[in-house]
Amino acid sequence: MRILVVNVNTTESVTAAIEASARAVAAPGTEIVGLTPTFGAESVEGNVESYLAAVGVMDRVLAYREPFDAVIQAGYGEHGREGLQELLEVPVVDITEAAAATAMYLGHRYSVVTTLDRTVPLIADRLLLAGLDRRCASVRASGLAVLELEEDPDRAVAAVVEQAEAAVRDDHAEVICLGCGGMAGLDDAVREATGVPVVDGVAAAVTVTESLVRLGLRTSKVRTYASPRRKHITGWPLGGSRS
């Protein structure tokens, strides 16, 4: 099966890292295709950038010309998954939700450790909408920006571990979700420091997506995610108008 893993930002190196993470856990026979939006922010850390990502991701997926079996939206707390579900019949999985749902199999409560404080409410809101919030003990910010994670891995480990430890100690989290696509490599360090299971969203999403495809499950089309009605849309696809 072929799974599109779409980055929410326009930084190719992040796409490459996400793609590598996804491949590392993919089953034999699963082809992972990383995609980068053709417009949008180099990193997504707020609502403007997130809404732009929602459209950029849809635009990028629509421009993809080969057949595929599912889509993973590889942004933590970003908008857009619902739009993809309308556009497609194949399963669409958001890593924020895949991580949370996975964590809930492993402990009574989970916490998310993310990047900047300003992204905390976005993640909290997405979990609320997804109905996955009640067992969320906390969403904590490491204080590092998305692109800083790549630039200074040691500092990233230290900052994320510090918040993960606080989540376990003070918020009674029993599982930690790494709240940024760019944190994939940190799971071992966090698990060792805290002694609790650590869920990486991209990895979780790959196995969830493979499962949905294997079970022959597709997005429900009866109401919320019915295909868009036929109508005039000015300037869309946006990317298409540029190519």
Which residues in 178-217 contact a copy of itself (CB under 8 A)?
Answer: 195-197, 199, 203-204, 207-208, 210-212, 214-215, 217
Residue 241 near a copy of itself by CB under 8 A = yes
**Is 69 a binder of a copy of itself (CB under 8 A)?**
no
Q: Which residues pair with 141 in a beta bridge?
A: 114
Q: Figure out which of the listed residues 14, 165, 174, 184 binds a copy of itself, where binding follows CB under 8 A.
A: 174
Q: Is 45 in the site for a copy of itself (CB under 8 A)?
A: yes
Side-by-side strand order, sheet with 110-114? 136-141, 110-114, 175-178, 198-200
Round to whole Å and give the CA distance between 224 and 217. 17
Half-sphere exposure of 52 (CA within 13 A, CB side): 16
65 binds a copy of itself (CB under 8 A): no
Per the DSSP assignment, residues forming a β-bridge with 73 are 6, 94
If one asks whether residue 38 binds a copy of itself (CB under 8 A), the answer comes out as yes
Asked whether position 145 contacts a copy of itself by CB under 8 A, the answer is yes
Q: Is 77 in the site for a copy of itself (CB under 8 A)?
A: no
Choices 15-23, 129-137, 154-162, 177-185; region in contact with a copy of itself by CB under 8 A: 129-137
Contacting a copy of itself (CB under 8 A), which of 102, 111, 114, 138?
102
**Quick one: 183 exposed, middle or buried, by C-beta within 10 A (0-12, 13-18, 19+)?**
buried
Question: At its nearest, how many Å lie between a copy of itself and the CB of residue 198?
Answer: 8
- Give the residue from 219, 220, 203, 217 showing the smallest Cα distance to 30: 203
- Interface segment toward a copy of itself; rule CB under 8 A; list 12-20, 127-135, 149-157, 159-167: 127-135
Neighbours of 180 (CB within 10 A): 33
240: contact with a copy of itself by CB under 8 A: no
Q: Judged by CB under 8 A, how many residues of this single chain contact a copy of itself? A: 94
CB of 120 to a copy of itself, least distance (A): 8
Out of 1, 101, 158, 166, name the contact with a copy of itself by CB under 8 A: 101
CB of 237 to a copy of itself, least distance (A): 10
Count of alpha carbons within 13 angstroms of residue 50, beta-carbon side:
18
Query: What is the H or E stretch that residue 177 is in?
Result: strand 175-178
Q: Are 31 and 4 in contact (CB under 8 A)?
A: no
Residue 175: which of 196, 154, 201, 203 has the closest Cα? Answer: 196
- The piece of 14-22, 155-163, 178-186, 224-232 that touches a copy of itself (CB under 8 A) is 224-232
